[in-house]
Structure 1
Amino acid sequence: MRARDLMTTNLVTIPPTTPLSVVASTLAERGFSGVPVVDAEGRLLGIVTEGDLIRRLAAVEDKRSWLREFFAPAGRQAADYARSHGRTAQDAMTTALVTAEEDTPVERIAKAMEDRGIRRVPVVRDGKLVGIVSRADLIRALMAPAETLAADAPDERIRREVLKAMREQPWVDAYFIFPDVQDGVVLFHGYCRNEDVKRALRVLAEGIPGVKDVKVMVEKAPLPVVMP
């Protein structure tokens, strides 16, 4: 199995001049743990992750000794300063990235994630970002038969199109809903109490070519615990 069989291609990217306040809002509102930074031609420049933003906040409380600062290379001091005081994505982004090509075996990607402690590996073609393989993608590969994961497999094609259609609807983001496809039947799992949303999910899936049936199997979300 190759990166092309698992990678997510419907990506949210940002330009390098994006204010970090916008990046933080994007991560929080969309539930992302990182967002790729690309130039006008689509070339991958780096990734801004939750860790990058948290390190920026932690830098305020970093009480380094004057001796350690004295012996640190000036270049590293300057880089640390830019990352902790900059205001745009290009200032805070991680640039030392592990990347893959579309034909990279998923086993190699999994090893890179394990060795480097990272959550995602960008997939590039001639330096341009074409997809991302995340840990969730690898876990899905372990749970599903290989023949259903090929990028051109009918069920996988339907699942990707359903996901794409869901991302285009703002009302979906308010709920924890996940689609699966088995033999052309779309199954929605997750939590949702709203009957209108359930009906809209059915209509959305029925509009995807190749869908034979739709089953909305969501459950009522547990009520939040009110602390005294």
Structure 2
Amino acid sequence: MQAHEFMIRQVHKVKSTDTVREVIERFLEHGISGLPVVNERNEIVGYISDGDIMRYIGKRDDIMIEAGFYFAVFKGDDREFEERAQQLLQLNVMRIAQKKEKVVKVQWDEVIENIAAILGKRKIKKVPVERNGVLVGIISRGNVIRQTFKHML
């Protein structure tokens, strides 16, 4: 089975000119945690996830490693945290999104076994699907599981 046979065709996405505020509004509105970022030709130029947002607002000044554990030492207060969150809302999405070169994506004719391997090995929740360089769909772990096991249960 190929990606185009079971991908979600109506993809929630953001434009490369959007702000992080618009990203978070879509996250909340649709109950999602990641979005492809596209240009005016619907080409994938990035990917923004809740992890990118956490890395920005969870900024820390120092990290210590002791006995294999990471300890984050936070220097600041609630006011500084809120200021970072407010600043983040105004940023262009491409300031914190994964750039095109790092975006994991699959082609529209990729087979399901390879997609499952990509999602598992890369530890990602979903992957954009493209055809001729243009975003045409998205596939999540849930899509792969449903497609694989629906006739077995």
The TM-score normalised by the length of structure 1 is 0.52
Q: Which residue of 2 aligns with 1:221?
A: none
| Residues 62 and 119 (structure 1), Cα distance of their counterparts in 2 relative to 1, 3 Å cut | farther
Q: Which residue of 1 aligns with 2:28?
A: 28
Structure (1 or 2) with the larger CA radius of gyration: 1
Q: Does 1:111 pair with 2:117?
A: yes
Q: 1:94 is aligned with what amino acid?
A: Q
Residues of 2 paired with 1:26 and 1:12: CA distance? 8
Q: 1:31 is aligned with what amino acid?
A: G
The TM-score normalised by the length of structure 2 is 0.76
Q: Does 1:90 pair with 2:89?
A: no
Deviation, structure 1 residue 14: 1.0
Q: 2:32 is aligned with what amino acid?
A: F
Q: Does 1:131 pair with 2:121?
A: no
Q: Which residue of 2 aligns with 1:53?
A: 53
Deviation, structure 1 residue 62: 3.7
- Taking only aligned residues, the RMSD between alpha carbons, in angstroms, comes to 2.0
Residues of 1 paired with 2:9 and 2:135: CA distance? 9
Query: Is the partner of 2:98 in helix, strand or coil?
Result: coil
Q: 2:129 is aligned with what amino acid?
A: V
Residues of 2 paired with 1:11 and 1:21: CA distance? 19
Q: Which residue of 1 aligns with 2:62?
A: 63
Equivalent residue pairs, number: 127
Please, which runs of 5 or more residues in structure 2 have no aligned partner? 65-86
Q: 1:32 is aligned with what amino acid?
A: I
Q: Which residue of 2 aligns with 1:40?
A: 40
Residues of 2 paired with 1:15 and 1:37: CA distance? 5
Q: 2:98 is aligned with what amino acid?
A: T
Query: Is the partner of 2:106 in helix, strand or coil?
Result: coil
Residues of 2 paired with 1:63 and 1:16: CA distance? 32
1:100 to 106, 113, 120: 106
Q: Does 1:144 pair with 2:150?
A: yes
Query: Is the partner of 2:13 in helix, strand or coil?
Result: coil
Cα offsets for 1:180-220 (capped at 9, x unmatched): xxxxxxxxxxxxxxxxxxxxxxxxxxxxxxxxxxxxxxxxx
Deviation, structure 1 residue 15: 0.9
Cα offsets for 1:16-69 (capped at 9, x unmatched): 12111221121022101111110000100111111111111112x24259xxxx
- The structure, 1 or 2, with the larger RCO (C-alpha pairs under 8 Å, 6+ apart) is 2
Residues of 1 paired with 2:26 and 2:10: CA distance? 16
Pick the structure with more helix per residue: 1
Q: Which residue of 1 aligns with 2:81?
A: none
How many percent identity over aligned positions? 29
Please, which runs of 5 or more residues in structure 1 have no aligned partner? 66-83, 147-228
User: After TM superposition, where is structure 1 displaced by more than 6 Å over at least 4 residues in a row?
Assistant: none
Q: 1:57 is aligned with what amino acid?
A: I
Q: 2:116 is aligned with what amino acid?
A: A
Q: Please give the residue correspondences for 1:163-178 in structure 2 after superposition, counting only pairs within 5 Å.
A: none
